[in-house]
Amino acid sequence: MTGLDRQRVLLIHPLGYGAAAAGGDISRLANLMPPLGLASLAAWVEKHGFTADIIDCYARPQADAAIDAYVRDHRPGLVGFSCTTSSFLDGTRIAARLKGLLPGLRTVFGGPHVSALKTAILERFSAVDYGVIGEGEEALRELLASGGEAPAAIPGLAYRDATGKALFNGYPNQMLALDDLPFPAYHKLEGYPTAYRLPLFDYPTAPNATCISSRGCPYACSYCDRSVFGRSFRYNSATYMYEHLRFLRQSYGIRHVTFYDDNFTVNRARLVELCALLQRRPLGLTFNCAARAEHLDADLLRLLKAAGCWMISLGVETGDPELLSQHRQQADLQTVATALALIKKAGIRTKALLMMGLPGETEASIRRTKAYVFAQPIDTFNLAKFTPFPGSPAYASIHEHGEFNEDWAKMDCMHFQFVPRGLTRPRLEELYRDFQREHFQRAKVLLGYMTMAWRSPDSTRRFLGNLGKFLHFVRTTERYEAP
C-alpha cells in the first residue's frame, strides 16, 4: 500500500443503477434517506483517530467524477461500500474502476447483502477484498488499524488467504453497547439535512431527519433479512435518545424525526422515560416511529402523543389471516385492528406497512387484504412488492413456492421478481395498480390528503414541484414491463 494513506477511508453508498435514470426514480422523489450506517461508521473510526469521508451516490447520482477525484487527490488506503442487494453490483462496478485508478487500493463491502452471502461474495467478485459480516464499526476500525495486513485476526471479517481461498473469521464474541457510539457523523453527508427527504405527507414540518435507536429484532418473520444483527436486540437508553434529538435540533434545526427502528416499542420502559424527558424539557420537534400492535396500549399512546408522536407505522403485511400466519410470528389481525383504532383515538396518524406477492398469495388473499385495509382507520400505507432477499427465511425455499428471477439489481421491493404459484407477473402488476388506485379514489382518503395540504406544507410543495414526474410514473406503470 505504498503511497496510500492508511489512516483514511472513503465510504460510498452506491446508487444501484445508471445515474441517467435517477431523475425518474419515483422512490428518490418521494423518499431519500441518509445512509446512517455509513455515518455511524465514520463517527466511530474518526473517534479512534482515523479519517473518514462519505459520498452518497443515492443523494448525488452524478458522483462518479467526484469519487474518482477524491481517490486521486487523497489516495485512501481503503474504500468501503454499504450495499443492499439492489445496489451491490453498482458497488462492485465502482470498486473495479477505483482499483484501476489507484493500484494497491483495497475495498471492503458491508451491509445486509454481504452479511447474508458471506464468503460467496469474495468467491464471485474479485473487486471485493474484504466483507464485513454483521455489525461494521469495530471490524472497520481494526481493518484500518492493521493497514489490511492482518485480516485473519479481525472478528466479523471475510477475506482471502494467501492461496486466494475465501474465509470468514466468525462473529465477534461481544457487540458494542449502543450508548458508547458517538452520534452519526451527519456533517460528512453533503447537503445534510436538506439534501434528504422523508416520504411525502409523512411529516408535518421541515427540516426533518431519520434516526435509529436500536439494532436487531427478537422476531423471525419469513420476509425479513436478519443477517446483520441476527436475533439480537439492543437499544439506546432514553437519555441517549433525548441527547441525540437535542443534538439534531440544536445543530441542524431539525423539527421532525422519523425513527426507523424495526421495533421502536419493544422496550416500554425506555419509551416511558423518553416521553417524560420530552415533556419535561421540550425540544420543539415531533417524531414518527414503527411498532408492533401487541406492544401498544392506550396509556402508552397517550404518553407518545403528549411527547410529540405524529405518526405510527404498523406492520400489517397482509389482511389474509391464513397467509399472515405462514409468515409472521404472533399473527393476529384483530390485535392489529385494535391497535390501529387506539392510535387513531390518541390523535396520532396511522400508516400500514403491506406486502403483495408473498409465497402463498392468491387473488383471493389480495381481495381479503384490500377489504381489511379499507375497513381500518388507516391514513396512509406503503405497499411493497415482496422480495425474497438472501438472508431471509423465505429465501432458502423460495423456488418451491413460485417463479423467482434473482436479478439483484431489481430486488428493491419495487419489482415483482418473485411470482407465487397460480399468478402471473402481469396479473400481479394489475392487482397492485388496482389496489393503489382504489385506495386513492376513496372519499375519506382524498379528504385526508386534502387536509395534509396544510398539515404538511413542505410535502405539498414537493408534490406540486414534481407533479409532472409523478404523473409520468403513474402513466408508465399502467403498462406492464417485462423484466
Q: Can you spell out the DSSP letters for 186-206?
A: GGGSTTTTTT-BPPTTS-SSS
Q: Is residue 65 part of a domain?
A: yes
Q: Which residue has the cell 503511497?
A: 3
Q: Is residue 240 part of a domain?
A: yes
Where in the sequence is the domain holding 354, given as residue range(s)?
198-477
Domain end, chosen from 168, 189, 206, is at: 168
* Same domain membership, residue 27 and residue 125: yes
Distance CA 140, CA 154 (A): 9
Q: Is residue 117 part of a domain?
A: yes
Q: Is residue 67 part of a domain?
A: yes
Given a cut of 90, whether residue 468 has pLDDT beyond it is no
Given a cut of 70, whether residue 480 has pLDDT beyond it is no
| pLDDT mean across residues, the chain | 93
* Same domain membership, residue 139 and residue 234: no
The pLDDT score that the predictor gives to residue 482 is 41
The whole model's pTM is what? 0.94
- Grid cell digits, residue 51: 479519517
pLDDT, average across residues 456-467: 90
| Residue 285, C-beta contacts closer than 8 angstroms, at least 6 positions apart | 245, 248, 249, 254, 255, 256, 257, 308
Given a cut of 70, whether residue 2 has pLDDT beyond it is no
| Residue 100, C-beta contacts closer than 8 angstroms, at least 6 positions apart | none
DSSP string covering 318-375: -S-HHHHHHH-TT--HHHHHHHHHHHHHTT-EEEEEEEE--TT--HHHHHHHHHHHHH
- Bigger pLDDT: 473 or 162? 162
Confidence band, pLDDT 50/70/90 cuts, at residue 472:
low
The pLDDT score that the predictor gives to residue 1 is 41
The proportion of the chain whose per-residue pLDDT surpasses 90, expressed as a percent, equals 82
pLDDT in tens, 102-112: 999 999 999 99
Instruction: Report the DSSP beta bridge partners of residue 286.
Output: 256
3-state secondary structure of 163: coil
The pLDDT score that the predictor gives to residue 228 is 76
* Same domain membership, residue 203 and residue 66: no
Q: Residue 441 in contact with residue 1, Cβ under 8 Å?
A: no
Q: Is residue 290 part of a domain?
A: yes
Domain end, chosen from 115, 150, 168, is at: 168
The pLDDT score that the predictor gives to residue 475 is 64
* Same domain membership, residue 215 and residue 80: no
Q: Is residue 186 part of a domain?
A: no
Q: Residue 21 in contact with residue 91, Cβ under 8 Å?
A: no
* Same domain membership, residue 98 and residue 208: no
Distance CA 385, CA 390 (A): 16
CATH of the domain at 25: 3.40.50.280
* Same domain membership, residue 110 and residue 233: no
Domain end, chosen from 114, 147, 168, is at: 168
Q: Is residue 383 part of a domain?
A: yes
Q: Is residue 483 part of a domain?
A: no
pLDDT in tens, 178-218: 999 999 999 999 999 999 999 999 999 999 999 999 998 88
* Same domain membership, residue 122 and residue 221: no
pLDDT, average across residues 366-388: 96
The pLDDT score that the predictor gives to residue 192 is 97
Number of domains composing the chain: 2
